[in-house]
Amino acid sequence: MAPTGCSWFPVTLERSKKGSFKFVRSSSSISGSSKSFSFKKRSTEEKKALIVCFGEMLIDFVPITAGVSLADAEGFKKAAGGAPANVAVGISRLGGSAAFMGKVGKDEFGYMLADILKENNVDNSGMRFDPNARTALAFVTLRSDGEREFMFYRNPSADKLLHEKELDVNLIKKAGIFHYGSISLIEEPCRSAHLAAMDIAKKAGCILSYDPNLRLPLWPSAEAAQQGIMSIWNQADFIKISEEEIEFLTGGDDPYDDDVVMKKLYHPNLKLLVVTEGAAGCRYYTKDFKGKVEGIKADAVDTTGAGDSFVGAILNSWGSDLNLYKDEKRLREALLFANACGALTVQKKGAVPALPTKEAVDQFLHQTTD
């Protein structure tokens, strides 16, 4: 049976064409920062912290042909999506330890998503299945440059209906890092479940990781989105934010101005704030240093999941070294690796199918740095 509000249609699955890369070396705004990177193999015995990702998981329908409207699309590629779930799979693909916590419908799509997590070695024991609501759907419009816009079917969808009593408290307490977005803050009862999960994680000593992942059409208003996103801002240890999100949250301030970032977005409890700039790379800010790591250019087919791939890479590195944010050289290496993950992800359609393995990223980096 088709989900409520959506007519059923055939879905065409196609492999996307592989793009080309151009490597740009990274630079730092801090005097004396290292300009070279070494990619040493880490011991397979290295202990990695469990990273629990909380929030939404859904089905993305991506048009086979870029640059057309949803109405004109001849077919769609069906792919698992939802930012927190993407991050969890990204971590696991890179060899990390990840779990996903959220709610889907007790339907074919919900079971499919649970299976995808299991197939990707993500702990799905924190998933819950709602018999009275459908798994969320998102239709993605791809522009010719690979950028996208979303149309959501989730009124209501199961992810919004997670209750505090359904949280797997023991799973949260096992985590070294607890990651989340802002979409789970939009409506009750999920908002209360989200806040309770954060509180449990904080009391258990977890690092709190926050990617606001602004999706304005899902919020009642722009004002509600700004207030909702900022309502938990000061509790995070790590925040990843985009240029567009800086502009939105600051009321139009220059997203490239370090003073704007430090005065309006950096808070005393924050260990690391990263600003992503797409193909241009990223900027990083800590209490002791700041800088920029240039990007790795790629021919973008679909940018869906690129930011999640980046976040998964950073958290995977952090899960192996909980003091990563204190060592600028190691942090810059991790950020270059994360930039490479994002560059690889944009070359395929869909989020989860495009997330790279550690071997693929290592091979690419060795080829471009030799």
Kindly report, residue by residue over 88-97, the tens digit of the pLDDT. Answer: 999 999 999 9
Q: Write the pLDDT tens digit of every residue in 229-274.
A: 999 999 999 999 999 999 999 999 999 999 999 999 999 999 999 9
According to the model, what pLDDT value does residue 212 have? 97
pLDDT of residue 46: 56
Mean pLDDT of the chain: 86
Provide the pLDDT for residue 365. 86
17 has pLDDT over 60 = no
Q: Tell me, what's the pLDDT at 35?
A: 36
Length of the chain: 370
pLDDT, residue 113, reads: 97
Q: What is the pLDDT of residue 38?
A: 39
For the cut 60, the answer to whether the pLDDT of residue 44 exceeds it is: no
Per-residue model confidence (pLDDT) at position 348: 85
* Whole-Å CA distances, 305 to 260, 289, 328, 351: 27, 28, 26, 4
Query: How many CB atoms within 10 Å of residue 203?
Result: 10
State the Cα–Cα distance between residues 229 and 70, nearest whole angstrom. Answer: 29
Above pLDDT 90, what percent of the chain?
69
| Spatial distance between the Cα atoms of 348 and 133, rounded to a whole number of angstroms | 30
Please, which pLDDT band fits residue 362 given cuts at 50, 70 and 90? very high
The whole-number pLDDT of residue 271 equals 98
Contact 207, 141 (CB under 8 A): no
* Domains with residue ranges and CATH for the chain: 51-57+82-133+156-368 (3.40.1190.20)
Strand partners, 99: 52, 123
Q: Would you say residue 5 has pLDDT above 60?
A: no
Over range 125-140, report the average pLDDT. Answer: 95
- The pLDDT, as a whole number, for residue 146 is 59
Dist CA 126 CA 178 (whole Å): 13
> What digits encode the pLDDT tens for the residues 288-299?
999 999 998 888
Q: How confident is the model at residue 147 (pLDDT cuts 50, 70, 90)?
A: low
153 has a pLDDT exceeding 50: yes
Both tokens of 127, joined, read 């998933």
Q: What is the pLDDT of residue 130?
A: 98
Provide the β-strand partners of residue 100.
53
Q: Kindly tell me if the per-residue pLDDT of 114 is higher than 70.
A: yes
**pLDDT for residue 22 is more than 50:** no
- What does DSSP say about strands 272-276 and 238-242: parallel, antiparallel, or unpaired? parallel
